[in-house]
């Protein structure tokens, strides 16, 4: 096996990777769109956006593999980083660089690879956008051109990416390993500890700059029925689909975390109660329109599962500065009101709740 060489600008490259703030962060809709399009456009089982760190590659977005990182010395994407050029391997078993690579000889048994560099705005190669297959295949120049264009879209997403100030502060304060511990392993969003840290930083920012913020508490209606009827594996698929719908509806800078089993907390920087309620209504509509196809015990047959959400809304009270415990209590009470009202609706806490309340 031939490991990739180290680029001559490695120090600057790693600095740019750190500066990007991408490592060990939750999934983001824009990057997931790129990998989903890649898998479908090229009809391949695997598409991923790999970021090559000092001693590992970490996947910011991945379709078709149940893993998030691997050692750098076995990374095929590291060869793209080393050369700064696209790489196509139509049959890995016939390429001396990769024929005895663990990814080729062992799971996942990669036989085809095509990858293009993904660069920081300053030009350093951060990683690669690649497609893979478990069978050899040809990849003519016209397809490579399409992959390069898709990599350019990933770079554009990086250029226009905007995280919340609270997330940026959290990233700066925490080591990568600690940051990874704050991400839910199934859903790839903040876990309860992570979203609470975001909320604490957001409160301090709002105290400092006087800007409003609001919170949403979202619960999937009757989710226990899904697990009881179809099993927990299907339940996980529905959970994942709901999260993807939430991510597609939330705005750049909004923060999403898993607060409980099927309950989510959203932090909305710079958002009033009325703005938060409008966004909550869009979220409820988006989830209500979502459908998940799941297989049945009958070969070739599937069933379609839909679901709805109940949402509680509250805005942080600035004068005097409200405690987070009080804010979360009000948001949770609004959620309970939504459930008591028949579910699939939005309820708002606060003095203007009755005037602004909308139902589904």
| CATH number for 117 | 3.30.450.40
Q: CA–CA separation, 133 vs 112, rounded Å?
A: 5
Catalytic residue numbers, as ranges:
262
Asked, for residue 128, whether it belongs to a domain, the answer is yes
Radius of gyration of the chain (CA): 22
Residues 142 and 223 in one domain: no
What was the pLDDT predicted at 163?
Answer: 79
pLDDT surpassing 70 at residue 297: no
Asked, for residue 306, whether it belongs to a domain, the answer is yes
What was the pLDDT predicted at 180?
Answer: 82
* Domain CATH code at residue 285: 3.30.70.270
pLDDT in tens, 340-357: 999 899 999 864 444 344
Q: Between 353 and 270, name the one with better pLDDT.
A: 270
Q: Domain containing 338: what range?
A: 165-356
Residues 134 and 205 in one domain: no
Asked, for residue 3, whether it belongs to a domain, the answer is no
Q: What is the pTM of this model?
A: 0.83
Residue 108: asked if its preceding bond is cis (omega within 30°), the reply is: yes
- pLDDT band (50, 70, 90) for residue 360: very low
pLDDT surpassing 60 at residue 135: yes
What was the pLDDT predicted at 354?
Answer: 41
Residues 232 and 261 in one domain: yes
Q: Considering 140, 160, 180, which residue would you say is the last residue of a domain?
A: 160
Residues 110 and 188 in one domain: no
pLDDT surpassing 50 at residue 67: yes
Q: Considering 142, 160, 178, which residue would you say is the last residue of a domain?
A: 160
Q: Considering 160, 193, 219, which residue would you say is the last residue of a domain?
A: 160
> Mean pLDDT across the stretch 37-53?
97
Residues 337 and 258 in one domain: yes
pLDDT surpassing 70 at residue 319: yes
Asked, for residue 147, whether it belongs to a domain, the answer is yes
Q: Is 177 exposed, middle or buried (0-12, 13-18, 19+ CB in 10 A)?
A: exposed
Mean pLDDT of the chain: 92
> Mean pLDDT across the stretch 18-25?
90
Residues 194 and 63 in one domain: no
- pLDDT band (50, 70, 90) for residue 106: very high
Please check whether residue 289 is in contact with residue 235, taking contact to mean a CB–CB distance below 8 angstroms: no
What was the pLDDT predicted at 300?
Answer: 64
β-bridge mates for residue 44, sequence order: none
What was the pLDDT predicted at 48?
Answer: 97
Residues 221 and 111 in one domain: no
**Full DSSP string of 203-248:** HHHHHHH---EEEEEEEETTHHHHHHHH-HHHHHHHHHHHHHHHHH
Residues 136 and 268 in one domain: no
Residues 218 and 331 in one domain: yes
Using the structure block, give the residue that is written with the tokens 């001559």.
8
Backbone phi, then psi, for 304, in 5-degree steps?
-110, 130
β-bridge mates for residue 303, sequence order: 294
Strand 125-133 versus strand 46-52 pairing type: antiparallel
pLDDT in tens, 154-188: 999 988 887 787 888 888 788 777 788 999 999 99
Please check whether residue 269 is in contact with residue 254, taking contact to mean a CB–CB distance below 8 angstroms: yes
> Mean pLDDT across the stretch 5-9?
95
> Mean pLDDT across the stretch 135-155?
97
User: In the chain, how many H helices and how many E strands?
Assistant: 13, 13
Q: Between 159 and 266, name the one with better pLDDT.
A: 266
Residues 137 and 205 in one domain: no
Asked, for residue 2, whether it belongs to a domain, the answer is no
pLDDT in tens, 211-256: 999 999 999 999 999 988 888 989 999 999 999 999 999 998 999 9
User: How many folded domains does the chain comprise?
Assistant: 2
């Amino acid at each position: 096996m031939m490991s990739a060489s180290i680029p001559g600008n490695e120090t600057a490259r790693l600095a740019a990777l750190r500066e990007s703030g991408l490592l060990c962060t939750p999934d983001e809709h824009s990057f997931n769109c790129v990998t989903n399009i890649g898998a479908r456009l090229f009809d391949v089982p695997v598409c991923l956006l790999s970021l090559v760190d000092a001693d590992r590659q970490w996947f910011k977005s991945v379709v078709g593999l149940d893993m998030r990182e691997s050692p750098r010395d076995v990374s095929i994407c590291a060869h793209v980083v080393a050369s700064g050029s696209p790489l196509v391997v139509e049959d890995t078993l016939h390429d001396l660089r990769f024929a005895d690579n663990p990814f080729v000889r062992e799971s996942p048994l990669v036989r085809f690879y095509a990858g293009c560099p993904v660069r920081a705005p300053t030009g350093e190669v951060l990683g690669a956008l690649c497609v893979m297959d478990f069978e050899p295949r040809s990849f003519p120049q016209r397809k490579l051109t399409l992959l390069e264009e898709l990599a350019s879209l990933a770079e554009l997403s990086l250029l226009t990416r905007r995280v919340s100030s609270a997330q940026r502060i959290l990233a700066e304060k925490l080591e990568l390993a600690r940051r990874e511990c704050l991400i839910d392993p199934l859903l790839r969003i903040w876990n309860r500890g992570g979203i609470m840290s975001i909320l604490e930083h957001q409160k301090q920012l709002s105290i400092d700059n006087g800007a409003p913020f609001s919170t949403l508490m979202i619960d999937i209606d009757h989710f226990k029925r899904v697990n009881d009827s179809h099993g927990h594996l299907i339940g996980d698929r529905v959970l994942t689909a709901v999260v993807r719908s939430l991510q597609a509806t939330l705005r750049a800078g909004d923060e999403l975390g898993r607060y409980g089993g099927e309950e989510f907390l959203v932090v909305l920087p710079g958002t009033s109660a009325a703005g938060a309620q409008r966004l909550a209504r869009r979220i409820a509509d988006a989830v209500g329109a979502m459908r998940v196809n799941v297989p049945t015990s009958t070969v070739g047959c599937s069933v379609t599962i839909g679901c709805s959400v109940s949402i509680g809304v509250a805005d942080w009270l600035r004068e005097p500065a409200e405690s987070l415990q009080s804010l979360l209590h009000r948001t949770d009470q609004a959620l309970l009101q939504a459930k008591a009202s028949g579910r699939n609706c939005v309820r708002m806490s606060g003095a203007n709740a009755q005037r602004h309340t909308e139902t589904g």
